Amino acid sequence: MVYLEAQKLGRDFPGVRALDEVSITLTLGRVHILAGENGAGKSTLVKLLTGSDTPSQGSIRIDGKDPWQHPEIFETISYVPQELTLFPHLSVAENLFMPFWRSGHGRRVIDRKGMERDAKEYLDRFAIEARPGDLVRQISVPDQQLLQIARASTNRNMKVLILDEPTSALTATEVERVFSVIRDFRKAGLAVIFISHKMDEIFEIGDDYTVLRNGREIETGQIGDCSESELIRAMSGKALKVDDDFRPRGTKTDRVPLLSVRELSGKRFENVSFDLFGGEILGFAGLVGSGRSEVMQTLFGFLRAKSGSAELEGRKWKLGDTSFSVAQGMLYLSEERKHHGILPLLSLRKNIGISILDRTAGRFGISARKESAEVAKVIRDYDIKTDSMGKRISLLSGGNQQKAIIGRAMATSPRVLIFDEPTKGIDVRTKAEIYRIMRDLAERGVAVILISSEMEELRKCASRIITMHAGTTTGEFQTENTTNETLVAAIFGKESASHEA
Amino acid sequence: MKRNPLALIAANPLMGVFIALVIIFAISIAASPHFLTGYNMSVIARALAFVGLITIGQAMLMILGELDLSLGVIGGLCGVVAGMAMTSGGLPPIVAIPACLLLGAMLGALNGLLVSILKLHSLVLTIGTAGVFGGVNLVLTKGVAITGMPPEIQFFGRGEVYGIPVPFIIMLVVLAIAVFITAKTPFGRFMYAIGNNVAAAEMLGIKVNRIRVLVFTMAGLLAALAGLLMVARLGTAQPSIGETWVLAPIAASVIGGVATTGGVGSPLGAIFGASIIAIIENIIVLFGVSPYWQGVVSGVIVVLAISFDSASRRLIRKES
Amino acid sequence: MTSGMNGLVPALRAIAATTTAVVLATAFPAFAQEEPGMEVKDSYRFVIIPKVVHPWFDQVNNGAMQAAQVIEAQTGSKVEIVYSAPQQADVVQQNQIIESSIATRPDGIAVDLLDASGNRASLEEAVGQEIPVTIFDSVPPEGMELTSIGNDFCEQAKLASRRLVELMEESGQVAIMMGVPSAPNHAIRAQCHEEVFAEYPNIELVATGIDNDDIETAQKQAAAIMQANPDLKGWVASDAAGPIGIGQAIQEAGKTGDVILVGLDNLPEMLQLIRDGVAESSSSTRPEMQGYWSIMAMWQQAMGIDTPKYIDTGIDFITKEDLE
């Protein structure tokens, strides 16, 4: 029985169409797979279906009713986000039934005994290894993940359950626990939306599927009628157009590597080895959590290495010391601009000036004149839009902040530059500018590493791509003679032979 | 662009607190005939000198995003140890004073090392070390002051040069150095960077731990200097020296635009803030305000001073 | 500091014995108008600086106000009393108040010194600025010729402890509540209590509490000590807050009448405890009198008349009868 039907949904944000004519139909007693790359529009769609955002176009009918006329009907849809949103310092039972009045555990005074008794039922049903009185921070991450699902199911009116990558932090046996819960829900006549990147899971649990790409609905059907490779092709799209190629020209791969990394292991990754040549852009592909950022942060010295070594031009590389790395000309530009990049309370001038102090500071301190001149040059060269260099950097737009950070890094004449998701949250035009900057750098002989979740971006910029899955490298490919399907398969953990040219 | 008088404040974040200081100064002159006398100015200058040295250290730590609640206690302990060294220890001041400055620097460095190694919040850690340093003070003195300081050190506490108290001159010299370090040197820039965003500072290759330990060391050194000057001033080493140097320097820094969360402000602003507090304490006595009302009166003036600063800032933001 | 004070105590006692309680004018033969005491001023302003904000000093202030009224009534000169107390019992803060007060050019400053040697520099400044300084409830720094007004702390304590011993018929367990250990007057009192108890072989001192001149602390300490020593029969204290806390602890333990308390000083709560029969009596300084004579001494000095080195205000022994 069809419970929810969405027709030609669209959602516009200023300057961006996040969702465009997407339709989806949910049937009770079936599991619907929602598939697509990062940024394909999955979370926008989920927001519309749960009523936390309103569509710009299209219509939704739930149980035959228009939910905008009957908003209470949204209460029949439960959503379990990918990240943990529990209260770590409260008990398992309290987390399950918060807010208490909704679950009937007291409006003013909380009935703890009754609540813990009811909690026991849920814990048994979901096979969560915890007592109702335990604090959430004391129980394991998989149990927390399951508890989140249990929490959603305390909603007695629930008809639709949306699970956003519920298995990303789980091992195989724990995944099985989640699946048995999903099967129970299916048997009980609920509709489930299951969002996942993992092919084996999709084919094990799914009944129907919808693939999104760039905000558009690409394919819809039944899992039984579709093969793994078809699904991957639907997610990754067709080959790229020729005109937007930002790969550096004149790269020769037969030279001695500038940097070679051997069997590096650290937090969330193991045994990573690769060579990096001057003048190339080396792509690192992988899903969020595959360990690609951790590899680079460890190489840069921000995270501690467990084992392994690296050499720059044949000389031993010192791990675990960012100031050594910077002194040797290696810079890391984090995807977390807010957390790792800008100095939010300082002016644009001081944000850029901080990395060129060796040129601006003399015996009588930092020369304001020299600094202004140098910073003005960076602002001009990288086309940073600001009314004055004295403006606080946090007041600039995201794209201009990113250009400022890149400009700051360039001003130090680096030899190895690591870009981690440099175009996250950045509009299309600025994206192209950043690609051009990377290409220019590489053509000047700098070795560039580009970490990205977007296949398209990697294919446009990188001459070589290394794929990672679950903390290990799964392949190394020459971009020119590798299909998108091969790459996507590699980042989803499908073993394949390296395509060395 | 129109020339707005408020634009001055916008151009320099120190202007707000400076204008507040000038207003309080002007009101004091108008309100009490005893305020603007040479003697009273030297009274205020001297009161400002000791707490000002602590304030400079604390403000630098706050720029870094840290706090040291043990600075007052370090001052007291170093004063007491210097007192003992120069009396029962029989050491000449020329040996005892540098040794105790070094002791203060080492205690500060210890705080910095513990914060860096244990990755603790400095507020929590220094509550602990303040207890330890204060306890050592009591063990050494049994709570009793040490008398009989050599007369030659009194110049540093009581002396005047052209009518200006020596401790105040010392504080001004320290302030000038601190302002130069924070505003004009790479080291100072790195302090602000760390206070803004530790992770970003590390990504920029800044040696975060080394700078943190060094700033703690400087603050400890300044605390010891304040303690020693106070011993020279009192002529005795009081175990209670520094007890009132805990909250006032933090309040002064905040009034002067140094955020407790780090990354902004200047030691100069903090000294403006300390001056406001010193003037308030002085005029409360000049006016003969009832001791039961003193807390209320000084609190209200401080709140007014801070609101003036933030109100003028908000006004500017609206204008631009 | 404490040892210096201890040495001074016998000396003070000797002076107190030989001087009548009040000696105001050391007679100078009167000559012409230029002589001290002959000029009439329209107004006087005196500053009183206590150790800290504390009710005991409010009583000092009351006595000072009374003296001001007397002088006004008798001479017609206006007298203003400025009362400036440190918010914390801290020498540095007290010095700042002394110095700021000097800046107002008063006709006299009366200080209860927190620490004679630590206050010295500021006092010397006042003298240097030719402002008369009087000390009350404490002893002036060595070598400074200043008039001091107060009473014999040891005598005060001994009056209390002797009374307790008498009430206990010279036998049983007793306890002492100390004030602030580093405050000389508190330390002297505790020590003199001990000396008295040591004279009687059947009196056993079982505990000494420390209350830091705080009623709540005194109450907690006293309750714990009585818990640990169920046979405790008597209490004495060394500061004004101590007996009030002890009295509360005795009431809460339901031991009124079983445990004898001889108190100290005359704060309103202390007097109430005597009225309620919780405390038998109190050996009290006379804060009003100290305030009164501080003003009188400063007034005399302001007129250029020398004042005695020491004015002993004596001790009140307060019992229930006195309060009816």
Nearest residue of B to residue A359, measured between CA atoms: B186
Least confident of A214-223, A244-253, A385-394, C120-129: A244-253
Domain edges within chain A: 2-236, 244-329+414-500
pLDDT tens track of chain C, all 324 residues?
334 444 444 444 444 444 433 343 344 444 445 677 777 788 999 999 999 888 889 999 999 999 999 999 999 999 999 999 988 888 888 999 999 999 999 999 999 998 888 899 899 999 999 999 999 998 888 888 899 998 899 999 999 999 999 999 999 999 999 887 767 788 889 999 999 999 999 999 999 988 888 888 899 999 999 999 999 999 999 999 999 999 999 999 999 989 999 999 999 999 999 999 999 999 999 999 999 999 999 999 999 899 999 999 999 999 999 887
Average pLDDT, integer, range A155-183: 82
Portion of chain B with pLDDT greater than 90, in percent: 55
Tell me if chain B has a CB within 8 Å of the CB of A419: no
**What DSSP element (H or E) covers A274?**
strand A269-276
Q: Pick from C82, C109, C132: which is nearest to C304 by CA?
A: C132
Portion of chain A with pLDDT greater than 90, in percent: 27
Is B249's pLDDT higher than 90? yes
Judged by 3 or more CB pairs under 8 A, whether A touches B is yes
Predicted pLDDT at A495: 54
Tell me if chain B has a CB within 8 Å of the CB of A27: no
Give A84 or B176, the one with higher predicted confidence. Answer: B176
How far is the CA of B224 from the CAs of B79, B101, C192, in angstroms?
7, 5, 38
Asked if residue A99 has a cis previous peptide bond (ω within 30° of 0), the answer is yes
Residues C95, C84, C140, CA angle at the centre, nearest 5°?
50
Class of residue A253 by CB neighbours under 10 A (exposed 0-12, middle 13-18, buried 19+): middle
Token pair listed for B62: 């706050």
Token pair listed for B108: 């500060």
Q: Pick from C298, C300, C307: which is nearest to C37 by CA?
A: C300
Task: Give chain C's domains with CATH numbers.
Answer: 43-151+287-314 (3.40.50.2300), 153-284 (3.40.50.2300)
C-alpha to C-alpha distance for C182 and B187, rounded to whole angstroms? 44
Q: What is the pLDDT of residues A39-48, one digit of tens each?
A: 678 888 998 9
pLDDT tier at B22, thresholds 50, 70, 90? very high
pLDDT tier at A371, thresholds 50, 70, 90? very high
ipTM of the complex: 0.84
C-alpha to C-alpha distance for A453 and C48, rounded to whole angstroms? 76
**What DSSP element (H or E) covers C92?**
helix C91-103
Cα radius of gyration rounded to whole Å, chain A? 25
**Are C121 and B233 within 8 A, CB to CB?**
yes
Tell me if chain C has a CB within 8 Å of the CB of B241: yes
- A244-329+414-500: CATH topology: Rossmann fold (3.40.50)
Is A143's pLDDT higher than 90? no
Buried b (16+ CB within 10 A) or exposed e, C287-316: bbbbbbbbbbbbbbbbbebebbebbbbbbb
Query: What is residue A243's DSSP assignment?
Result: S
Tell me if chain B has a CB within 8 Å of the CB of A395: no
Residues A11, A13, A16, CA angle at the centre, nearest 5°?
95
Contact A56, A11 (CB under 8 A): yes
SS3 B19: helix
What angle in degrees, to the nearest 10, is found between the helix axes of A398-410 and A368-381?
120
C-alpha to C-alpha distance for A447 and A454, rounded to whole angstroms? 20
Predicted pLDDT at A265: 93
Question: For chain A, what is the mean pLDDT?
Answer: 84
Residues 214-233 of B with CB under 8 A from C: 230, 233
SS3 A373: helix
B contact chains, 3+ CB pairs < 8 A: A, C
AA letter at A288: V
Nearest residue of C to residue B51, measured between CA atoms: C92
Predicted pLDDT at B148: 84
CB-nearest partner of B285 from C84, C91, C181: C84
Distant-in-sequence, close-in-space partners of B62: CB < 8 Å, separation ≥ 6: B195, B250, B253, B258, B259, B260, B262, B265
Entry field: residues in chain B: 320
Q: First and final CA of chain C: distance in angstroms?
A: 41
Per the listing, tokens 């298995």 go with A167
**What DSSP element (H or E) covers A112?**
helix A112-125
The answer to whether domain A2-236 and domain A244-329+414-500 are alike in fold is yes
pLDDT tier at A26, thresholds 50, 70, 90? very high
Question: Residue A423 region, left (φ>0) first, then alpha (ψ -120 to 50), else beta?
Answer: alpha
Cα radius of gyration rounded to whole Å, chain C? 21
Residue C48's DSSP bridge partners are C83, C110
Is A261's pLDDT higher than 50? yes
CATH of domain A2-236: 3.40.50.300
Predicted pLDDT at A169: 62
Q: Using beta carbons and an 8 Å cutoff, which residues of B are at the interface with A?
A: 180, 183-186, 189-190, 192-193, 196-197, 199-207, 259, 263-264
Question: How many angstroms separate the CA of residue B116 from the nearest CA in chain C?
Answer: 34
AA letter at B283: I
Predicted pLDDT at B177: 97
